[in-house]
A and B are shown apart, each in its own frame.
Chain A
Amino acid sequence: MNNETIKKITSQRLFLPIFCLILVLLVNVITTPNFFSISIRDGVLYGYIIDIINRASELVILAIGMTLVVSASAGTDISVGAIMAVSAAVCCNILSGGERAVTEYASPLIVGFLAAIIVGVLIGCFNGFLVAKLNIQPMVATLIMFTAGRGIAQLITDGQITYVRVDSYRLLGASFDGIPIPTPFIVAVVMVAFTALLLSKTALGMYIQSVGINKKASSFIGIKSIFIIFLTYAYCGFCSGLSGLIASSRIYSADANNIGLNMELDAILAVAIGGNSLAGGKFSIAGSVIGAYTIQALTTTLYAMHVSSDQVPVYKAIVVVIIVALQSPGFARWRKSLAKKKSMNITQKEAA
C-alpha cells in the first residue's frame, strides 16, 4: 500500500523536475540557514526565495513560448534573447523620443509597450514563416534573428544605452505601491495561467502536440499543421517581447548588448529540465516553468553560498548534468531494472 503510493508519486510526469528543484533548494537549508526567511521591507517581500521567483520571471515567460515551439516544430527558437533586446530598444526609443536619456515620456507609456509587444510578435511571425511555410530548420531560421537582432537593437538605440528615468516605467520590473509581490512574478503567473487556459479550453494544446508528434498525419486529419507551427513561433515572439519589457523596466533602459544575453540557452535548458523532449510532441508547460525556477534557484544558491565568480559556471554545469542525467531515458531504464531485481528478490524470499 505504502509502496504503491510512492510509486504513484514517483511515476508522475512532474515528479523528477519538482524533485530536482527541491533538491537544489534543500542544499540551502544546510549552507544558508536564513535562505528561506522572508520579511517585508519597504512594503515589498524580501528574501532569497523572493529573489528567485522575481528574477526567474523573464525566463519563465520565455520558457512558455519555447515549450510550444519545441513541441510543435521539434526545434528551438534561438532568437528569443535577441528579440528581447529589440523590443526593449523599440520601447525605450519610443518613450524617449530618440533621446539617450530622458526623465519624461516623449509618448504615452502604453504606446511604447504596445509597439514593443507588436515588434516581438512580428519577429516571431517572421521566424514562424521561415520555419512553417518555407520549411527551414528551426535553428537555421531563428539564427537569422539571433545574429541580426542585436544589430537592429543597436541601430535603433544608436549603439548607446537609452535611459527612461521615469518612476512609472520602473513599475513593471519592481513593484506597485501597496502590493508586496514583485510585478514580474505577477506577470509571469498571469502568463502561465493564460497560456494554460488557452491550451486546455481550446483544442490548441492537442493540436500542437499532434503536429509535433506527426505533422503529416495531423494534416491528413484536417489540422492546419503549417498554421499551428507558425502560431507557436508568433506566440514565442510575443513572450520574448514581454520579457524584454520586464528586463528593460528593471534597468529602466535599453541595453542592446546585454538585455536577454544568453537567455535563449537558459530557456531551452528550462524546457529540457522540465522533462520535455526536445524532439517535439508531448509537452508540459508546468515542467518548463519548474525548470526555469530551478535554473534561477541554482544561480541564487551559488550567490548565497559565496562561490567565487570564476567557479560558478563549473558548479552550474555539474548540477545541470546531474539533473538532466536523472531524467534521461537511460537512467529510467536502469531504475526500472533495479526495481525489478528488488521485487524478484522479495518474491524469491517469500517463496523460500
Chain B
Amino acid sequence: MKKRVLSIIAMLAMTVSMAACSSPSAPTPEDGEGDDTNVSSEAGDLITVGYAQVGAESDWRTANTESFKSTFTEENGYKLIFDDAQQKQENQIKAIRSFIQQDVDYIVVAPVVETGWETVLEEAKEAGIPVILSDRMMQVSDDELYVAWVGGNFVKEGETCGEWLAKYLEENGRGSEEINMVTIQGTIGASAQVGRTEGFNNILTQHDNWKMLDMQSGEFTQAKGQEVMESFLKSYDDIDVVICENDNEAFGAIDAIKAAGKTCGPDGDIIVVGFDSVKAAFESMIAGDLNATFECNPLHGPRVAEIIQKLEAGESVDKIQYVDESYFDTSMDLETILPERAY
C-alpha cells in the first residue's frame, strides 16, 4: 500500500515537473512544411531557406527565431521554412532531411548538440545545398560540410567593454588618471564568464593606469552581485569602475553602492557596466544608474541573409562570422530603443 502511494506520488511529481519544464508554447512549423513538396518551383524566384531551430527554451532563443522570421520574408525575396526541434537532435535531422526533399536553396541549423551531424550533412552536400550554422558549433571531420558559422563572441564582448571604457574615460578627461576597478564575475566556468573575463583582461593589460583590485563571483544573480559589491565597498575606499559580467549583477551592485551612500551612473562616483542588454538594463540606464551594457546578440538573421546574398552572387564567405554585438550607453536615445528591444 505504502509503496503504491509512493509510486503514485512519484508519478505525480514527474508529471508536475514535466509540465513545469515544457516551454509554454512551441511554435509550429510555418508555411506548411509537408504539403508542398516542391517549394522552390512554387515560390518562383524567391530564395528558399530552411531553418532548423533548437526550440523555444528562452527569451534569447525566441528573439533569435523572430530575427529569422523577420529577415527572411517574401518582401525581402525569401521563403522561410521554419522547424522547431524542441531540443531534440533527431527532430533536427528529420527537419534537415525534409528540407533536402523539398529541395530548398539553403539550410540553416542551430545545432542542439555538437556531434553526430556527419551523415545528414553529407546528404545535404550531395544534394548540393549549402548549410549555414547559427549560434552553436558542430564538430565534423570535414569543415567543408558547412559553409559558415554565425554566432556571438564572449571574448569580443569583453574587449568591446574595455574599449568602451577607455573611450569613456578619455572623453571625461580621466584617460591618464589611476583607475581602480573591481569585477563581479559570472558563475565560474560558464562560457560567458570565461570569455568576458578574458576579453576585458586583454584590454586591461594595455592600460598601465587601470588597476583591477579584486574579482569575485556574483553567480550571475542580483542578490549575489549585491552581496559581493557590499564587501568590495568595505574593502576598497576608492572604486572607480565596476565591471559586472551580466546585467542582473549590475542591478545588485547599484543597490549596494546606493546603500553605502555613494552614487553611480554617468553623474555618479562609480562607473557601472553590465553585459547582455536585457530590457531592465535599459530601464536602469534611463534611471541614470547604469552606464553601459554590452550586448549578447541573438539577432543572427540579417548576418545569415548577408552570407546567402554573397553566395548567390558567387562570392566566397568567411567560415567563422561573429554577429555584430553592439553596446548601449547613456549617451544614446534609450527611450526610443527600449520599446524595440526583442528580449
Contact = CB atoms under 8 A, between A and B. Distances in A.
Given A41-B260, A152-B20, A158-B24, A135 B226 contact: no
Given A101-B283, A251-B222, A147 B234 contact: no
Interface in B209-231: 214-217, 219-223, 226-228, 230-231
Contacts of B283: 101
Interface in B1-24: 2, 5-6, 9-10, 12-13, 16-17, 19-21, 24
A253 B251 CA distance: 11
Contacts of A191: none
Contacts of B220: 258
A82 to B, nearest CB: 11
A335 B20 CA distance: 52
Given A101-B280, A251-B251, A255-B222, A151 B230 contact: no
Contacts of B274: none
Interface in B275-297: 279-280, 283
Interface string A283-310: 0000000000000000110011010111
A308 B251 CA distance: 22
Given A130-B9, A158-B24, A304 B221 contact: no
Interface stretch (A44-52, A110-118, A211-219, A226-234): A44-52
A32 B9 CA distance: 52
A62 to B, nearest CB: 15
Given A41-B260, A47-B234, A304-B235, A309 B13 contact: no
A251 B185 contact: no
Given A135-B2, A300-B231, A303-B216, A251 B226 contact: yes
B231 A140 contact: no
B199 interface: no
Interface in A16-32: 32
* Chain B contact patch, size range: 35 or more
Interface residues of A, number: 49
A174 interface: yes
Contacts of B279: 101
A47 B12 CA distance: 48
Nearest to B227: A55
Nearest to B223: A251
Contact of B20 (A51, A148, A160, A310): A148
Contacts of B12: 144
Interface in B22-57: 24
B252 A251 contact: yes
Given A174-B259, A250-B226, A309-B185, A148 B16 contact: yes
B215 A309 contact: yes
Interface string A125-140: 0000010001110001
A121 B140 CA distance: 53
B334 interface: no
A312 B227 CA distance: 15
Given A42-B261, A140-B6, A251-B252, A304 B231 contact: yes
Nearest to B5: A134
A34 B255 CA distance: 23
B20 A155 contact: yes
A42 B259 CA distance: 7
Contacts of B311: none
Contacts of A155: 19-20
A159 B216 contact: no
Contacts of B226: 250-251
A144 B235 contact: no
Given A148-B20, A304-B234, A255 B221 contact: yes
Contact of B234 (A48, A55, A101, A158): A48
- Residue in B20, B21, B216 whose Cβ sees the most chain A Cβ within 10 Å: B20
A303 B17 contact: no
Interface string A184-202: 0000000000000000000
Interface in B191-219: 214-217, 219
A239 to B, nearest CB: 18
Given A51-B234, A152-B16, 8 more contacts: A48-B231, A101-B283, A144-B16, A150-B20, A155-B19, A155-B20, A250-B223, A309-B217
Interface of A: 32, 34, 41-42, 44, 46-48, 51, 55, 101, 130, 134-136, 140-141, 143-144, 147-148, 150-152, 154-155, 158-161, 163, 174, 247, 250-251, 253, 255, 258-259, 261, 299-300, 303-304, 306, 308-310, 312
20 contacts: A32-B235, A48-B231, A136-B2, A136-B9, A144-B10, A147-B13, A148-B20, A150-B20, A159-B24, A251-B223, A251-B226, A253-B222, A255-B221, A255-B223, A261-B221, A299-B227, A300-B231, A303-B228, A304-B235, A312-B217
